[in-house]
Structure 1
């Protein structure tokens, strides 16, 4: 969740500078996907109607016998000595993520404090509707998250010094849906090389992640405001997609965002 741009101190008490909220830079998927999906649904419906019409004119086909020889599964259960042992909890990823998702958030780093100004975080949780508000087309993103069977979003918000803030979000999908299959992280990484909406670079690979990356944005400068620096990491692991954002008026190093990303990946 990007922080608001920080205004310069007012030149005088009579003409104070007004703070200006920084617009969300995450670019949602285009409407083309919805149009193609709608066309596909219409095509399937039309084909189904024609198929029912053809089938209705045919003579009924006799059902096959219920008893079938040569079944593909063993007639008897495996002996006790041949049944594989269940995975220990330390290796069963579903056991780890089925509990309190907030416990998988990385601990607050030393020197940081909770950022209570970030009202979107309530007791470590973020509503899906509030998470979607951080996108330019929040209605589309909200619908897309629901269609991908999103389960819950856990978050932590910290601050350090006067202007540095960090947000960590874990977006979890329901059992049987991997975060990679939901394509949310992939969509976010796709536009990051863009100069206008992204970081303007390809980023760097996160060690230990299949396709996760971290990015350091080009500084944003605007007359009357202090410079805005930002870094971001996006990756997924199992049924959880993770995102980390750091904002400041001072430069953010690659090490700052890489360290948080590697620690969060290890906890997942």
Structure 2
């Protein structure tokens, strides 16, 4: 996957991919040299004990236990509901809670490249929601689902989000409980442009199965850890 989505501006992870490939090649070469000087190791016998199959039938998972029943249904129903007192964001996202492939790609600095990579990564659909509280606080959540017939795309996009978030200066991060490698981030320095109020940001990236979750919060005052963490934990809990 080439592009990433830091601050809604596309970048690439080619340097990471290249470093990973070089590491694999270097490791393979070293291993070959070491192995060449060793005595051959005897192979185990081809015959192995036969494992008996347990009697009876396996009880199928209930709808409540089978996560795929939820994620294969209306993905929009797994999005968090907006809090009481919230209103539509001044910058609405999607169409009736959905974002098309092209619309999602447009959130990146290089939409054409992102579009191509989403196709390669077997993009299936994206469910989105956004709300505003007061005049300046805005929250946005996207659940991006992939077919994942050839690669673990959801985890790759989450890892991509982690990488570019951590490239930022003056940022703090915390693991999102119950997600394995999910992370929440708070940017302590605001984005500032002449003639505009400063904008503070927080974000979270995580995945579960074939769904990549991203949360973005912006406000004109600093965003506490509890705010982004609460949204991330609750949203992942619904997946």
Given the two structures, how large is their TM-score scaled by the length of structure 2? 0.75
State the Cα distance separating 1:34 from its structure 2 match: 10
Contact 1:221 1:228 in 2 (8 A): yes
**Counterpart in the other structure of 1:144:** 117
The match for 2:183 among 190, 209, 213 is 213
2:79–2:238 contact (8 Å) kept in structure 1 = yes
Change (3 A) 1:145 1:33: farther
Shift of 1:107: 1.1
Contact 1:27 1:191 in 2 (8 A): no
In the alignment, is residue 186 of structure 1 matched against residue 159 of structure 2? yes
Aligned residues of 1:179 and 1:237 also touching (Cα < 8 A)? no
SS in 1 for 2:166: coil
Q: CA offsets per residue over residues 247-266 of structure 1, 9 Å max, x none?
A: 11122111111100000000
Cα displacement (A) at 1:138: 1.6
1:238 to 209, 219, 227: 209
Instruction: Give the corresponding residue for 2:145.
Output: 172
Contiguous gaps of at least 5 residues in structure 1: 1-22, 36-71
Cα drift, residue 178 of structure 1 = 4.1
State the alpha-carbon separation in 2 of the partners of residues 119 and 255 from structure 1.
Answer: 25
SS at match of 1:192: helix
Other-structure match for 1:97: 71
Give the gaps of 5 or more residues in structure 2. Answer: 1-5, 19-49
Q: What is the CA–CA distance in structure 2 between the aligned matches of 1:265 and 1:119, rounded to whole Å?
A: 22
Q: Say if 2:121 and 2:153, in contact at 8 Å, map to a contact too.
A: no
Residue 28 of structure 1 pairs with residue 15 of structure 2: no
Q: How many angstroms apart in 2 are the aligned matches of 1:264 and 1:223?
A: 35
Structure 1 residue 168 displacement after superposition: 0.5
Number of residue-to-residue matches in the alignment: 202
Describe the superposition over 1:224-251 as per-residue Cα deviations: whole angstroms up to 9, x where unpaired: 2211111101100111000011111122
What is the distance in 2 between the residues matched to 1:175 and 1:194? Answer: 27
| 2:237 is the alignment partner of 1:266 | yes
Structure 1 residue 204 corresponds to structure 2 residue 166? no
Larger Rg: 1
